[in-house]
Structure 1
Amino acid sequence: MSLNRVAVEIINIGDELLYGNIANTNAQWMSEYLTEAGFRVLRHTVIADEQAAIVQALQEALQRAQVVLMTGGLGPTKDDVTKLALCSYFNTGLQLHPEALAHLEEMFRLRGRSLSELNRQQAALPAGALYLQNEKGTAPGIWMQDAAGRVVVAMPGVPHEMQHLMREKVLPRLLQTFSIEPLLHFHVKTVGIGESQLAEQIAAWEEALPSHIKLAYLPSFGQVKLRLTAKGKAPSQLRQDIKEQLARLLPLIDKYVFGFEQEILEEVVAALLRKSGKTIAVAESCTGGYLAHSFTKIPGSSAYFQGGVVAYSNRAKIELLGVSPQTLETEGAVSEATVLQMANAVRRRFHADIGLATSGIAGPGGATPAKPVGTIWVAYADAEGAKAALYRLGNDRLFNIKVTTALLLDWLRKKLGGRASRFEDFFV
């Protein structure tokens, strides 16, 4: 069965999704994960916790797709009706599954609790179903297959439980069940260049790509991920073809490339800091601690991250960082002079090799004609001195905070040597 014929539909079940109480992150994650593996996602459907609605959605999806993946409705309460819907569609009934029951009993024992009759019912699965043990929670994964070979998988709606089942149980079994056309993805991560500018810079290279290699632009906050997808040849040849294209691409955009594949900017900067042996401290105003979080989210960051100050008010800038009151009066908090003083001061206060600082108008308020929303000053200080840079970003507060952080991390990355890895490292 070729790639174009292995179609998947995703059904996400839950009133909370329809009411807008929570975002449907499961569909996005599942689609990306399945696409990476070579499957073709046809449709997302979100439905209520109603047995008839689930059965109807399942019937319609199986007219279009060979695989239907469902999330939600597997809990112990009365509104969890996914298993009943599966029984209705497959014309079967529920029966207690010994392995599922043993798993539940062990999980409750480890938590110091006894298994209630309500929770015991989570071990009841549709007759004929394959039990997929969920090591991350109590709701099981359920695999069912009809006479035509079409597959239906039900998983819990809790994201980390679903993702665990997809990685460890569902995708490996899908790949055993269906013959997938050889497919290879490779990601190039860039920062500090917009999607349109990046496209212009590599237009000639993109135009010359062979027909079996496609390029996708995947922008996010201050970053653009380039995804190269090769298919239709033997895996070894696809790897070689991707390597050849990367060797042509990187010289065109090298200064914007911070990493590859699953690398994230924060991890790349962390690796460079560890390699350099340098320490860092941050002084933040407009980013409100987000910059510090970008360092401390990485395990082991205490080896290089000394600390930070969120000096949001002018008083805090004066008392905690020694910013000159005269500077704040004449130049303003959002100014080159202010961030330079902040970066130098936080570096001294924490005895760090490097100091970073941010001050700006994240929005939506606080703007003046001279300093509109999105006016951001940042600074970098080390033993050789301090420099500042001005960014003019957008009107969205969260966008401004995240992009400022990404651009300042990129500045630090370049100061520390650029990249921690080579694309060849991913083809060993």
Structure 2
Amino acid sequence: MRLPLSVLCWLVLASLALRAPPALAHAGLPETSNVTVRRGHPEDLFAGATFGAVVSRDSGKTWRWICPESMLYGGWRPESFLWQANGDLLAATGASLIRSRDGGCTWQAHPFFSSNNLWPSGLEAPPSTPSRLWVTTARASSPNGLFRSDDGGETFTAIDALRSTTHVYSSVKVAPSDTRRIYVSADTPQGLRIFRSDDEGSTWEEIPHPFPEYSVDSRPYDLLVLRVAENDPDHLWARVTAQGWTYLLESKDGGHSFQSILHPPNQEHDGLDEYLVGIEVSADGRTVWAATYTRFFRIREGGPTTLLSLPEGNACADRQGDTLLVCGSTWVHDWALARTRDEGDTFEPLFSLPHILPPACPARTPTQDICRPRWPQFAPSIGADPTLPPEEPVTVEPGTPEPPPKKGGCSSAGGLVPAACLLTLTPLLRSRRRDPESSRR
């Protein structure tokens, strides 16, 4: 049964009145979800979001919308993106490997994985060898494995030692200080595993991880390698879930043993009671930032865990040198992305959702032709101006592929709360925000 719009609006208003942070973060309201910077080009920034993505080519001064329909992933939203120095944007969505070669204007699903019914789950390309890509796949009851590309993602070959019809591979990470060291996390019929290679994939060590300390009533699941320290190939972080709790784990012996390191304040349990969005790590590996749907933690080696005052209601992080780029919630503290140069004590806002502008891509590219007509309907949901300015000539970068023929039949709703309802909500939401000056602490 479809509810009338007035009833739907009333239900959303009621949920906001209850002020349940997890529901606000990712179950209806538009939010940023991850951020990446183009390698070697700090002026180019890209933020994934619940409503597609936004891109800036001027160090964050302006941000342009990219709708999810043009990015080919529908309900499968990437947890992170990779932006290579040559301009290639890539993401493993869980259903396909998508790539854009023109800054987000044209997206294509990689035919190798699509034609073989493979579901890419993890993507890695070390900065020192950007032409080498590693991709894991995780489709249940299907031939999964680890795949390697030596030509920037044009072609892929399978790593024979990890081919399996029973294993599901969740992620792959390469040690920045030694690219021969590779970690792959997996779920197998025998339990959770870390596969480790010290020779760039030629041979592998299989390391079982039963996690008996978490296996009281049910088997742990969702083991995911998150990061390898920049200065030590034996130092890495992972997550695992058990009985509704997520544990942030640290290993200093190359993945042979792990210890939980996140102990939220005022909680007797040493795990998180909500989804861990991701982590960021300092260059020396001694400080970790952990983001959830509503909270942001700083964990210093040998010190206490600090629940930072911001962001709240939504969080993610990406480190660039000594600066952290951090997702936040416009609905709570007036910014959707900010930077911090003091490890999270204070924040400098980069943009809030109402500052987002319509797409600005060449004509006959999917982002321009699909997303631009959707802007008047989408803009009110983020408090932006729905007026479409005249199209401006856009310079196409050399080597940009010819866009594919435009396809019709996409839903214009995109799973968002109806614009009419959000127009009603906007004054209420803004009344809940903090004083702008307080958002800098």
Give the TM-score taking structure 2 as reference length: 0.27
Q: Larger Cα Rg: Structure 1 or Structure 2?
A: 1
**Structure with a larger share of its residues in helix:** 1
Structure having the higher strand fraction is 2
